[in-house]
Amino acid sequence: MVKIELTGDGGDKDMRVPFPAKGRKRDDILAEMRGMKAGDADWQHGRTPLYVFKATQEAYDMGRDAFFEFFTENALGAKRAFTSVKRMEDEVVQGALDLLHAPDDAGGFMTTGGTESIIQAVQTCRDWSRARRRDAAHRGNIVVSESAHPAFNKAANLMDLQVRRIPTAPDLRADVAAMEAAIDRDTIMLVGSAPSFPHGVIDPIAALGAVAQRRDVWLHVDACVGGYVAPFVKELGYDVPDFDLGVAGVSSLSADLHKFGFCPKPASTVFYASADKARHHGFEFTDWPNGRFATSTIVGTRPAGGVAAAWAMFQHLGRPGYRDIAARLMAMVDRYKEGVERVPGLKVCGKPHLSIVAFGADTVDVFRVSEVMAAKGWVPGLVQKPRAIHRMMSLIHADSMDEYLDDLRAAVGVVRQEVGSTAKIQATY
């Protein structure tokens, strides 16, 4: 059996730590925790290629304060006990529907992350498809580009669906014709990404929408990364293809607040283009002693802080604030791409639309370059196809940009001089 290393698996079984025999002072505990952090990657200075997102310090403080204002409340009780949380959740969803050009009949929900949004969109699509086909017995399949996030496989594993991963076109975007050719009578969903995680390119959503309409299948747009930044990048005049709920043929869309919405974790959203589809989202059960149990998330209890902070962030930044951050972000990305390509031999993969950029090289092994960079504290971000160095950047990467590019140039120089060294590192998300 494959041994999978999982966070939270309890660690090394030979080094069991006993349950604390007595309590300790708060200050000692906090000091120990801060000490533990000393060994972590220095995300504040852009050393992590993913995991952490930040806009301005002011926005960060707003999110943190709003989160702790609702630290104790439970969003599970939003309808019955915490009307404040219900109002904020509704307003986040409505604001996002407006931003994403949703039809009047559209609906949406907050969730705790991109994976949960995707799992729920797949479940909603499956149940909608079953209701229409009236043959619940068939095993549905989902046609995705190979660059789609593994969350679609996770969803399919949970629901016993099949995933068909189709190689990308030469420009690293979804190959629409090949995806259409993979559709059969059991296909329930097509997926496009805006943008894809590996290459940062926005798939041709309008063309996928046309296929979805012609072949009568559901199109999900995974805008977990781009949902809350691409609209503003587009407004600034950058080349951003249409990708949102205004595109004909799009049935659902996931967009993460805790990525480029710059909201504290956990917070994401999932939307449906019509009420007829949205009504299959959610879970309801009454056949137990406590009566009606209805939730719109996979999890039950969930932090109201995530809802409150997302609401506060929309209020704080508004359209001008998000546009301003998008402008600063894209200026930084342009500087990054230029800096990378100024290093002889390095080339950006495809034409990334937002702030995920991958670059490769023909004459040096970039995995080996990444190992040399890792020794200087830059946590590796790698793509295995094509072999590339990968970063999903926010404004935390701005201040250390020159240092990164200097270290990159030096690392490429080191690797060019090496004889017989081969990279041991593997691409790991």
Ligand X SMILES: Cc1ncc(COP(=O)(O)O)c(C=O)c1O
| Closer residue to ligand X (CB): 114 or 264 | 114
Residue 168, both tokens: 């990308």
Give the number of C-alpha atoms closer than 13 A to the C-alpha of residue 146, restricted to the C-beta side: 12
Among candidate residues 305, 304, 306, 299, the one with its CA nearest the CA of residue 261:
306
Interacting residue with ligand X among 122, 225, 329, 340 (CB under 6 A):
225
Q: Could you give the strand order of the β-sheet that contains 356-361, starting from the edge strand earlier in sequence?
A: 346-348, 356-361, 387-392, 382-384
* CB of 157 vs ligand X, minimal distance in Å: 15
Tokens 């930084």 belong to 332
Residue span binding ligand X (CB under 6 A) among the ranges 108-116, 289-297, 323-331, 369-377:
108-116
172: region left, alpha or beta (phi > 0 left; psi from -120 to 50 alpha): left
Interacting residue with ligand X among 180, 203, 256, 407 (CB under 6 A):
256
Exposed/middle/buried for residue 366 (C-beta within 10 Å: 0-12, 13-18, 19+): buried
Alpha-carbon distance values, 196 to 92, 108, 353 (Å): 24, 22, 10
| Closer residue to ligand X (CB): 254 or 361 | 254
CA 165 to chain centre: 19
Q: Beta strand pairing status for 387-392 and 382-384? A: antiparallel
* CB of 118 vs ligand X, minimal distance in Å: 6
* CB of 111 vs ligand X, minimal distance in Å: 9
Looking at residues 259 to 278 of the shown chain, list those that interact with ligand X (rule: CB under 6 A).
Answer: 268
* CB of 289 vs ligand X, minimal distance in Å: 34
Q: Is 222 in the site for ligand X (CB under 6 A)?
A: yes
Q: Is 193 in the site for ligand X (CB under 6 A)?
A: yes
Q: Is 115 in the site for ligand X (CB under 6 A)?
A: yes
Residues 6+ apart with CB under 8 A from 153: 163
Residue span binding ligand X (CB under 6 A) among the ranges 177-185, 222-230, 238-246, 298-306:
222-230
3-state secondary structure of 9: coil
Residue span binding ligand X (CB under 6 A) among the ranges 107-115, 200-208, 227-235, 241-249:
107-115
CA distance 46 to 395: 8
**Residue 363, number of CB atoms within 10 A of its CB:** 10
Interacting residue with ligand X among 92, 166, 183, 224 (CB under 6 A):
224
* CB of 14 vs ligand X, minimal distance in Å: 31
DSSP class of 136: T
* CB of 86 vs ligand X, minimal distance in Å: 23
Alpha-carbon distance values, 234 to 82, 243, 322, 325, 345 (Å): 37, 11, 12, 13, 31
CA distance 250 to 363: 42
Q: Is 407 in the site for ligand X (CB under 6 A)?
A: no
| Closer residue to ligand X (CB): 114 or 372 | 114
Pair 387, 367: CB distance under 8 Å: yes
Interacting residue with ligand X among 46, 49, 113, 249 (CB under 6 A):
113
| Closer residue to ligand X (CB): 267 or 361 | 267
Interacting residue with ligand X among 59, 100, 151, 217 (CB under 6 A):
151
Q: How many residues bind ligand X (CB under 6 A)?
A: 12
* CB of 267 vs ligand X, minimal distance in Å: 9
Q: Is 192 in the site for ligand X (CB under 6 A)?
A: no
How would DSSP label each residue in 326-359? HHHHHHHHHHHHHHHHTSTTEEE-S---SSEEEE
| Closer residue to ligand X (CB): 195 or 371 | 195
Q: Is 49 in the site for ligand X (CB under 6 A)?
A: no
Q: How many helices (H) and strands (E) does the chain have?
A: 12, 13
* CB of 211 vs ligand X, minimal distance in Å: 20
| Closer residue to ligand X (CB): 224 or 372 | 224
Q: Is 114 in the site for ligand X (CB under 6 A)?
A: yes
| Closer residue to ligand X (CB): 180 or 222 | 222
Residue span binding ligand X (CB under 6 A) among the ranges 28-36, 94-102, 111-119, 399-407:
111-119
Interacting residue with ligand X among 47, 54, 126, 149 (CB under 6 A):
149
Pair 151, 121: CB distance under 8 Å: no
Q: Which residues bind ligand X (CB under 6 A)?
A: 113-115, 149, 151, 193, 197, 222, 224-225, 256, 268
